[in-house]
Amino acid sequence: MRDRRLHGGWLRTIALAALLCALVLGVGFGIAGPLGLGAAAALILGSGLVVFLYSERTVLAALRARPVGEVERPELYRLVRDLSTAARLPVPRLYISPAMQPNVLAVGRRSRSVSVCCTEGLLRSLTGAELRAVLAHELAHVSRRDIAVFSWCAGFAALLALGHLRPLAALVLRCSAPMSREYGADASGALMTGDPMALASALRKIDRCAASLPLPPSGSLAASGHLMIAHPFPDEGYGRLFLTHPPVGERVRRLEALAGYPR
């Protein structure tokens, strides 16, 4: 099931990218014939290379994230190292964003180059058990091999958003990042920690704070929201356009069921 879901995400992304490439090539040929076709092909290849090389950097820059070492955040490193060992994953690089909205994301082209970014709001708002739960959720995305396609899409969508094509950027993210991915990472992360209710509690807190401290859905930041554990933008206007997360209430209900919580 996981492989079919993964392949489906890649296939949707490839199909949409192929359609957009064909459109650019057609416009180039229509404007300047073979010369325009060549220019359009060069633009596509150049854009693809930029997205591949700089998608991770673009996401972290959008959040104004800075790297942190083990000396500065020993408890955070201990949590991530323990969870990585349990999941049989390399220990990711850690970053902290100054954003006061509690949120977290993982980004990277492969499991050996993943970066996990926590906001200051997250570190201040959650208990130790809740923080462990959301970090496990992010590592679950890595172990489920969601990260590569979602990171590439973040870079591609950022390129479109910076080109004032936010509706098209939102379409890319909606096609490539189905809401079901969060249910799977919730379940896998909860099984990793053995504490589904800690993740449920963290999601409630994050959702409440995100509503009162929304991030602006602009530029590269708009293209990074699907990587976060909860929707970071306002539930109206362009913020709703970039909605790629399932309702927190349903996520909590599923986690309660996983914990055998009485209804």
Residues acting as catalytic residues: 138
For residue 64, the surrounding DSSP H or E stretch is: none
Q: Which runs of consecutive H residues, i.e. helices, occur in 63-89?
A: 74-87
Per this entry, what is the length of the chain?
263
CB 205 within 8 A of CB 102: yes
Residue 84's Cα: distance from chain center in Å? 18
Beta-strand runs (E) in 84-141: 93-97, 104-107, 115-119
Please state, in angstroms and rounded to a whole number, the distance separating the CA atoms of residues 139 and 156. 23
Q: Is 203 helix (H, G, I), strand (E, B) or coil?
A: helix
- Structure letter (DSSP) for residue 229: S
Please state, in angstroms and rounded to a whole number, the distance separating the CA atoms of residues 157 and 178. 15
